[in-house]
Amino acid sequence: MGYHSVVCVKQVPDTANITGEAMKADGTVNRAALPTVFNPDDLHALEAALDIRERFGGAVTAVSMGPLAAAEVLRECLCRGADRAILINDRRAAASDTLATSYILSRAVTKIGSFDLIFCGRQAIDGDTAQVGPQLAEKLGIAQVTYTERLLELHDGAARVRRSVGNGWEVLDVRLPMLLTILDTANRPRPSAARRVMRFKRARTAGEVKREVEASQPGASPGDRECEYAAGLESLKMRGLLIEQWDLDDIRAELQWCGISGSPTKVYRVQSIVLTKEGFKEVQATEEGIRTMVHELIVEHTLS
Amino acid sequence: MDAPMMPVNREGEVLVFAEQEDEHLSEVSLELCGKARELADRLGVQVGAVLPGWNVRELSYRLIAHGADRVYHVHHTELEHYRTLPYARVMIELVNRHQPQIVLFGATALGRDLAPRVASALRAGLTADCTDLEISDYTDPRTKTTHRNLLLQIRPAFGGNIIATIVNFDRWPQMATVREGVMRLHDPDPQRGGDILDERVDFSDFDLSVRLVERQREPRKVNLKAARVIVAGGAGVASRQNFQLIHDLAGAMGGAVGASRAAIDGGFIGKEHQVGQTGTTVRPALYIACGISGAIQHRAGMEESAKIIAINWDKEAPIFSVAHYGIVGDLRKVVPLMIRAIKEQA
Ligand SMILES: Cc1cc2nc3c(=O)[nH]c(=O)nc-3n(C[C@H](O)[C@H](O)[C@H](O)COP(=O)(O)OP(=O)(O)OC[C@H]3O[C@@H](n4cnc5c(N)ncnc54)[C@H](O)[C@@H]3O)c2cc1C
DSSP string, B167-186: E--SSBSEEEEE-TT-S--P
CA A145/CA A152 separation, integer angstroms: 13
Residue A241 at interface with chain B, using a CB cutoff of 8 Å: no
Residue B77 class from Cβ within 10 Å (0-12 exposed, 13-18 middle, 19+ buried)? exposed
3-state class (DSSP) for residue A32: helix
Contact at CB, B324 and A15, closer than 8 angstroms: no
pTM higher than 0.90 = no
Average pLDDT of the residues of chain B: 92
Partners of B20 in the beta sheet?
B25
Q: Is residue A287 part of a domain?
A: no
- What does each C-alpha distance from A36 to A2, A191, A202, B198 come to in angstroms? 34, 19, 19, 51
Residue A180 class from Cβ within 10 Å (0-12 exposed, 13-18 middle, 19+ buried)? buried
- Give the Cβ contact number of residue B22 at 10 Å: 10
Query: With contacts defined as CB-CB under 8 Å, which chain B residues touch A126?
Result: 157-159
Residues 6 or more apart whose Cβ sits within 8 Å of residue B146:
B137, B138, B139, B140
Nearest CA in chain A to B128: A129
Strands A117-121 and A178-182: parallel
Residues 6 or more apart whose Cβ sits within 8 Å of residue B205:
none
Give the number of A-B residue pairs with CB atoms closer than 8 Å: 235
Residue B5 has pLDDT above 50, yes or no: yes
Mean pLDDT computed over B311-338: 95
Partners of B339 in the beta sheet?
none
Residue A273 has pLDDT above 90, yes or no: no
CA B325/CA B308 separation, integer angstroms: 6
Q: Is residue A122 part of a domain?
A: yes
Protein residues with CB under 6 Å of any ligand 1 atom: B 234-236, 260-263, 274, 276-279, 291-293, 295, 297-298, 301, 311-314, 317, 330-332
Question: How far A268 CA lies from chain B's nearest CA (Å)?
Answer: 5
Query: With contacts defined as CB-CB under 8 Å, which chain B residues touch A160?
Result: 213
Contact at CB, B117 and A165, closer than 8 angstroms: no
Q: Is residue A25 part of a domain?
A: yes
Query: With contacts defined as CB-CB under 8 Å, which chain B residues touch A133?
Result: 116
Top-confidence residue, B171 or A262: A262
Task: State yes or no: cis peptide before B100, omega within 30 of 0.
Answer: no
pLDDT digits (tens, 9 = 90+) for B142-185: 899 999 999 999 987 776 667 889 999 988 899 999 987 678 77
Choice among A268-272, B133-137, B150-154, B298-302 with the minimum mean pLDDT: A268-272
CA B277/CA B300 separation, integer angstroms: 6
Whose CA is closest to atom 37 on ligand 1? B236
Q: Which domain holds residue A38?
A: 3-203+240-257
Contact at CB, A302 and B167, closer than 8 angstroms: no
- In one letter, which amino acid is A49? A
Q: Find residues 92-131 of chain A whose CB sits inside 8 Å of chain B.
A: 97-99, 102-103, 125-131
Where are chain B's structural domains?
14-199, 224-345
Question: How far A295 CA lies from chain B's nearest CA (Å)?
Answer: 7
Ligand 1 binding pocket mutation candidate from B257, B260, B264 (most atoms within 8 A of CB): B260
Residue B35 has pLDDT above 90, yes or no: yes
Extended strands (E) in B5-131: 14-17, 20-21, 24-25, 47-53, 70-75, 102-106, 126-130
Residue A11 has pLDDT above 70, yes or no: yes
Q: What is the ipTM of this complex?
A: 0.88
Confidence band, pLDDT 50/70/90 cuts, at residue A274: very low
CA B76/CA B60 separation, integer angstroms: 16
Which of A159, A165, A127, A152 lies closest to A5 in space, CA to CA?
A: A159
Q: Is residue A265 part of a domain?
A: no
CA B186/CA B33 separation, integer angstroms: 9
Distance of CA B307 to the CA centre of its chain: 21
Residue of A280, A290, A292, A301 to mutate, testing the B interface (most B Cβ within 10 Å of its Cβ): A290
Number of domains in chain A: 1
3-state class (DSSP) for residue A208: helix
Nearest residue, CB atoms, A138 vs list B120, B214, B215: B120
Question: How far B193 CA lies from chain A's nearest CA (Å)?
Answer: 31
Contact at CB, B119 and A129, closer than 8 angstroms: no
**Do B62 and B30 contact (CB within 8 A), yes or no?**
yes
Top-confidence residue, B332 or A29: B332
Q: Is residue A179 part of a domain?
A: yes
- In one letter, which amino acid is B64? I
Helix axes A287-299, B331-345, angle to 10 degrees: 50
Residues B224-345, CATH architecture:
3-Layer(aba) Sandwich (3.40)
Question: How far A246 CA lies from chain B's nearest CA (Å)?
Answer: 21
Q: Which fold has domain B14-199?
A: Rossmann fold (3.40.50)
Mean pLDDT computed over B64-71: 98
Sheet with B195-198, side-by-side order of all strands? B126-130, B174-178, B102-106, B14-17, B47-53, B70-75, B195-198
Query: With contacts defined as CB-CB under 8 Å, which chain A residues touch B107?
Result: none
Helix axes A40-56, A71-80, angle to 10 degrees: 30
Residue B248 at interface with chain A, using a CB cutoff of 8 Å: no
Nearest residue, CB atoms, B338 vs list A134, A280, A290: A290
Residue B343 at interface with chain A, using a CB cutoff of 8 Å: no
Residue A35 at interface with chain B, using a CB cutoff of 8 Å: no
Question: Given this chain, do its domains B14-199 and B224-345 carry the same CATH topology?
Answer: yes
Contact at CB, A160 and B162, closer than 8 angstroms: no
Residue B135 at interface with chain A, using a CB cutoff of 8 Å: no
CATH number at residue A115: 3.40.50.620
Residue B286 has pLDDT above 70, yes or no: yes
Residue A100 class from Cβ within 10 Å (0-12 exposed, 13-18 middle, 19+ buried)? buried
- In one letter, which amino acid is B139? T
User: Roughly how many angstroms between the first and final C-alpha of chain B, as a whole number?
Assistant: 49
Query: With contacts defined as CB-CB under 8 Å, which chain B residues touch A170?
Result: 212-216
Contact at CB, A302 and B125, closer than 8 angstroms: no
Query: With contacts defined as CB-CB under 8 Å, which chain A residues touch B84?
Result: 134, 143-144, 146
- What does each C-alpha distance from A44 to A7, A189, B110, B183 come to in angstroms? 10, 6, 21, 33
pLDDT at A126 (0 to 100): 84
pLDDT at A236 (0 to 100): 95
pLDDT digits (tens, 9 = 90+) for A52-110: 999 999 999 999 999 999 999 999 999 999 999 999 999 999 999 999 999 999 999 99
Top-confidence residue, A179 or A222: A179
